[in-house]
Structure 1
Amino acid sequence: MLHLAACAALALALSACGANRRVESVDLPYDYRQRHPLVIADRAELLSIAVTGRSHLDGRQAADIRAFAGNYRLHGKSEVHVFVPAGTGQEPAVHATLRATQRELAAAGIPASAIATTRYSPGDGDAVPTLRLSFMKLGVTVASTCGRWPSDLASGSSTDGWTNAAYWNFGCAYQANFAAQIAEPLDLARPRQESVLDTQKRLRGIGQLRQGKDPSTVYRSTQRVEDLGQ
């Protein structure tokens, strides 16, 4: 009996030395890119302009509208919708801000034919009335919802944690951050064309190699770095 127990213990120890200890889950994909895939879809680009009561926009608001208009010229797929608050009791200030916004959009290269104005009723939580600008553009989003925990990680009442598989929410935040940093969504669908080669630089490098010289570029700078520790 003692001999059999020793053999069983040895077999158990050897079984832990396997090269691949990962157990594939049958319920969800092991790769986080399959659990939380990136999807190219239309999304709204939004900008809020606070009504200040002045007949002109301040520098920050004007810069925001210029950046918004530049983004629209590059990626816009619809009209620019301007939602104007109604029933605020500040109608003169609202109209003044609307006119100033329209002038700034026109100066940024967006014609009046590409702008649609709609009135909306602000909620009780809107202490300051705002003009809301939006347009549709291609964007990248995560197909699934982050923050879901369909199973207990501790697995105190089941054997789910024994599978050594990634939990559902793993990688979702990474995918969401990655999607937010993509400037051109179509880069995920197809590669870009190669740019024109620098023929002169290539011929210079080949010529230096044939002459036994170092073809690398040496960058020189006239700036001096002072040692503040001395």
Structure 2
Amino acid sequence: MSIRLNSEKFKGLAARLACLAAMAPLAGCGVNRTLPPRVVAQDYRDRHPVVLADATTSIDLFPSHRLDNTTSGRIRDFVVRYQRFGHGQITLLAPTGAKDQLGVRGGVDAVKRLLAESGVSGAVYVGTYPVSDPNLAAPVRLSFQGVRAKVAGRCGEWPTDLASASSLEGWDNTTYWNYGCASQTTLAAQIDDPRDLVAPRGESPADIESRMRAIGNVRKGSDPATQWNVKGTNISSVGGG
């Protein structure tokens, strides 16, 4: 009889323990838990990735009544980039309050004529901006919105101390947050076509003449590889020595 009673008590105790174990996860819902620290990317390409963004592309011009070849070339390159990557309108901002306001007006007219010759006159919005110092050169600014490669964040931010003397913060042997940001920004500025970051370009047509010449050499049993004849120079004979 006692053995049966102890067995029943054991079963009841086991049932209560199982119930408490099932309720334990629910009891933790209202408890404030400390989250683990955020994982900081150690690779500068992960901290400062180069992304495609809808950003402003602008150039500053210093035209006179007649545009020189350098200024004309910069405007034509600007128009080409607008036609490839831009959308919306081109904004032309003329300075107001400059010393030679008459010359500025003539330069703006020359820029507008060249834009019209390039076929984008209907997409140009002309506005003005005030000059803060009349003694400084005031540029004519052209800009448009379009796809451009840039770094996702800003450079020059220092969220943590490099070597704190009052705490152990910054004592771990890792790269600092701003490391690599300038290099990534320089890389983004050098990318000619931002779409190359997304997918490779299509293959260009094959050189038929080169292909047929190589096939002909193979048929004749000759080496189809290109041979480069390099003429060597005796360094001792340079300078008449």
Runs of 4+ in 1 over 6 A off after TM superposition: 209-212, 221-226
Is 1:49 aligned to residue 58 of structure 2? no
In structure 1, the partner of 2:43 is 31
Offset of residue 40 of structure 1? 0.7
Distance 1:223 1:82, change over 3 A: farther
Which residue identity does 1:102 align to in structure 2? Answer: K
Distance 1:153 1:91 in 2: 51
User: Which residues in structure 2 correspond to 1:65-214 (within 5 Å)?
Assistant: 65-88=75-98, 90-107=100-117, 109-124=118-133, 127-161=136-170, 163-198=172-207, 201=210, 205=214, 213-214=222-223
Report if aligned partners of 2:53, 2:150 keep a CA contact under 8 Å in 1. Answer: yes
Distance 1:188 1:160, change over 3 A: same
Report if aligned partners of 1:51, 1:128 keep a CA contact under 8 Å in 2. Answer: no
Give the paired residue count.
203
Aligned-partner SS, 1:159: coil
Which residue identity does 2:50 align to in structure 1? Answer: L
Task: Select between 34-43 and 66-75 the one with higher mean Cα deviation.
Answer: 66-75
More helix by share: 2
Higher RCO by CA contacts (8 Å cutoff, separation 6 or greater): 1
Distance 1:58 1:196, change over 3 A: closer
Cα RMSD of the aligned pairs, angstroms, is 3.3
In structure 1, the partner of 2:10 is none
Query: Gaps (5+ residues) in structure 1?
Result: 1-24
Which residue identity does 1:70 align to in structure 2? Answer: V
Report if aligned partners of 2:98, 2:134 keep a CA contact under 8 Å in 1. Answer: no
In structure 2, the partner of 1:4 is none
Which residue identity does 1:106 align to in structure 2? Answer: A
Distance 1:156 1:78, change over 3 A: same
Distance 2:240 2:43 in 1: 50
Residues 38-91 of structure 1: CA distance to partner in whole angstroms, max 9, x if unpaired? Answer: 121122222222354xx3223332332233223323333232211122344644
Offset of residue 100 of structure 1? 1.2
Which residue identity does 2:45 align to in structure 1? Answer: R
Report if aligned partners of 2:99, 2:135 keep a CA contact under 8 Å in 1. Answer: no
Distance 1:156 1:208 in 2: 74
Distance 1:81 1:223 in 2: 56
Offset of residue 166 of structure 1? 2.5
Residues 70-124 of structure 1: CA distance to partner in whole angstroms, max 9, x if unpaired? Answer: 33233332322111223446443232112111122223x1332121111222223
Report if aligned partners of 1:51, 1:129 keep a CA contact under 8 Å in 2. Answer: no
State the structure with more CA Rg: 2
Offset of residue 209 of structure 1? 6.3
Distance 2:93 2:213 in 1: 58
Distance 1:172 1:91, change over 3 A: closer
Query: Gaps (5+ residues) in structure 2?
Result: 1-36
Distance 1:91 1:146, change over 3 A: closer
Distance 1:121 1:62 in 2: 25
Which residue identity does 1:164 align to in structure 2? Answer: N
